[in-house]
Amino acid sequence: MFRERVFLSSKFINFRAVKFDLITDEMKILITSALIQITFGLDKFVLRNFRTIMVSPNTYSFGEYEALLGHVDHIEKIIVVSWPSVKQGFIIPDDAFNVALHELAHALQSENLSRLIYRKFFDYMTMQEWEAEAEKELFNLRNKKHNHLKPYAGQNLMELFAVCIETFFEQPVDFKAKLPKMYHVMVDLLDQDPTQGQNPLVK
């Protein structure tokens, strides 16, 4: 099922090389697998708006920002990632640092907002529950009341969501132990629980 979803989703994505000769199958599979990892428990998993993913051979500059590892252009509907950063995220699987998961989480959350209720990736009421819990975590992060999630998550709800996705999949046991309520909301939102091991689906 996972492989089938990777194959199907990749057909809807236009991969573009930035200063590369070509996009390899490894790039397509690894980046698309991050999308499927997030949406594996969901009925909908194909991006309709963010259909272009640009792959850079190194960190890059964009506007006022330098040495970017990845970003999502919400206006142009483009995802940009640094290939070395993507690979590093999967080579070290338990540091809660995964550029592909992070940027695809941004794209999913953004596209989810623009979809009609019956076409959304995430259940509407569960997302409302996540946002209510996230507001509390933003306050805690900004007031340094815990240090489990990366401080970067305290910027806004979008960054908090992306960091939660990274932490949920790469450090699920610690996440569950230290932020149990947020963790269980994530389980409900994604319909999967990584602490279950080989079969994370909860349906």
Domain end position, chosen among 83, 114, 145: 114
Q: Are 92 and 163 in contact (CB under 8 A)?
A: no
Q: Are residues 138 and 43 in the same domain?
A: no
For residue 67, give the H/E element and its range.
strand 65-68
Same domain, 29 and 88: yes
Domain-embedded: residue 157: yes
Mean pLDDT of all residues in 188-195 = 97
Among residues 175, 201, 179, which one has the least CA distance to residue 190? 201
Q: Are the C-beta atoms of residues 170 and 94 closer than 8 Å to each other? A: yes
Q: Specify the residue for token string 């640009």.
A: 54
Average model confidence (pLDDT) across the chain: 94
Both 128 and 158 in one domain: the answer is yes
| Biggest alpha carbon–alpha carbon distance for the chain | 47
- pTM of the predicted model as reported, rounded to 2 decimal places: 0.95
63-121, pLDDT tens digit by residue?
778 889 999 999 999 999 999 999 999 999 999 999 999 999 999 999 999 999 999 99
Name the amino acid, one letter, at 120.
Answer: K
Same domain, 154 and 171: yes
Domain with 76 in it: what CATH number? Answer: 1.10.472
String of DSSP letters for 149-184: S-GGGGG-HHHHHHHHHHHHHHSHHHHHHHSHHHHH
What domain range is 77 assigned to?
2-114
Task: Give the Cα separation of 47 and 83 in Å (integer).
Answer: 20
